[in-house]
A and B are shown apart, each in its own frame.
Chain A
C-alpha cells in the first residue's frame, strides 16, 4: 500500500467511524424517553426524587447500581416488595430491621405520608426503567446476613429450555418480577419479611384445617394459589406480615402474572420441604 493510499484509507475509515458513532449516539438518545418511561414522570415522581435527595438515601442505597453499596439496591424494590410494604417500612423501619439482628440499620426518617407516597412513586418510576434484567435477583441485607440463606442468593439461573413446571416455577420464584424470593425464604425458620415457605405444603394443609382460617381453599395447592392471588383472604399475624389487618404482600399478582406462571410457582412451592 502506498503512502497516499494509506492516508486515504485512514481518513475515510475515521470519517466512517465517526459517522457510525454519531448515528448510534443519536439513535440511543432517541430511545431514552421510551427506555426511561419519561412520559410517566409526574409531579409525585419529581417530588419523590426531591425526598430521595433531601434524605440522602443514596448515601447508603443504590439506584441503577449508583450509590453507596451499604444498603440494598432499590431499583426494583416496588416490584419486589410492593407499595403497602414500603409504606409501612418507611413509617417505622425498626419494625422490619434491627442493627443487632441484621448488622445494619435503616434510620427512621419521620417522613410525612405525602413524602412517603411521593418517594414510592419515584421508586416505582425507577422500577419501570428498562434495565435489561438487572439486578438479576433481589439484593438483600437481611437475606445475606441470615445463616442458610446464601443458598437462596446463589440461585442457579433459570433453564429457559426446561418444560418442567417445577423448574419453571423455581425460576419464576427467583425472578423479579414477581420477586417472591425478596420476601420469602425457603429455609426453615428464616423469615425475611414474609413467612418462610419451607414446608409450605404441610403448613398449608394444617392451616386450612385451623378454626382461624378465613379463606376458601380446600387443599394445600388451593391455599398457596389463594395466598398468591388474594393475600388478604387469610392474613397471618406476624411482625412484618400485615398492617391494619391487611397483608403487606402485593395483591396484584393475578394481573401481573400469567395463569401458567402461577401454576408453575404453585407446583414449585408444593415441592418445598
Chain B
C-alpha cells in the first residue's frame, strides 16, 4: 500500500516535469528550469522516502528460524 505522502510527492514530480516541458515550449527558460529542479527534487525525495520506508519495514520483520 502506497502512503498518501508518497502519492503527493510523485504527483508533484510528474506535474513539475510536465510543466517544465510546457514552459520550455513557451520559451520561459527560467520558469522551466525551476520546474525541472522541482521535478528532480520530488523524484529524489520519493526515492529517499521509499528507501527509508523499506529499511524500516525490513527492521520490523520478525526474525526467521534460519537467522537464529
A residues in contact (CB < 8 Å) with B? 1-3, 6-7, 9-10, 12-14, 16-17, 20-21, 24, 27
Contact = CB atoms under 8 A, between A and B. Distances in A.
A8 B17 CA distance: 19
B11 A14 contact: yes
Interface of B: 4-5, 7-8, 10-12, 14-15, 17-19, 21-22, 25
A16 B15 contact: yes
Contacts of B14: 13-14, 17
Contacts of A20: 18-19, 21-22
B7 A10 contact: yes
A13 B4 contact: no
B11, B15, B19 — which one has the most chain A CB atoms within 10 A of its CB? B11
Contacts, number: 40
Contact of B12 (A2, A7, A13, A27): A13
Contacts of B8: 1, 6, 9-10
B25 A6 contact: no
Contacts of B12: 13
Q: What are the 9 closest A-B residue pairs judged by CB atoms, nearest first?
A: A6-B4, A13-B11, A20-B18, A17-B18, A10-B7, A17-B14, A10-B11, A13-B15, A3-B4
Nearest to A28: B25
A12 B14 CA distance: 11
B36 to A, nearest CB: 14
Nearest to A7: B7
A6 B22 contact: no
Contacts of A1: 4, 8
A135 B1 CA distance: 49
A48 B47 CA distance: 49
B67 to A, nearest CB: 35
A69 B14 CA distance: 36
Nearest to B5: A6
Contact of A24 (B5, B7, B11, B21): B21
Nearest to B7: A10
B22 A24 contact: yes
Contacts of B15: 13, 16-17
A21 B21 contact: yes
Given A13-B12, A14-B14, A21-B18, A27 B7 contact: no
Nearest to B19: A20
Contacts of A12: 11
A256 to B, nearest CB: 27
A24 B8 CA distance: 24
Nearest to A16: B15
A9 B12 CA distance: 9
Nearest to A23: B22
A27 B22 CA distance: 11
A20 B18 CA distance: 6
B18 A7 contact: no
Contacts of B11: 9-10, 12-14
B17, B18, B22 — which one has the most chain A CB atoms within 10 A of its CB? B18
A215 B41 CA distance: 65
A99 B61 CA distance: 67
B41 to A, nearest CB: 16
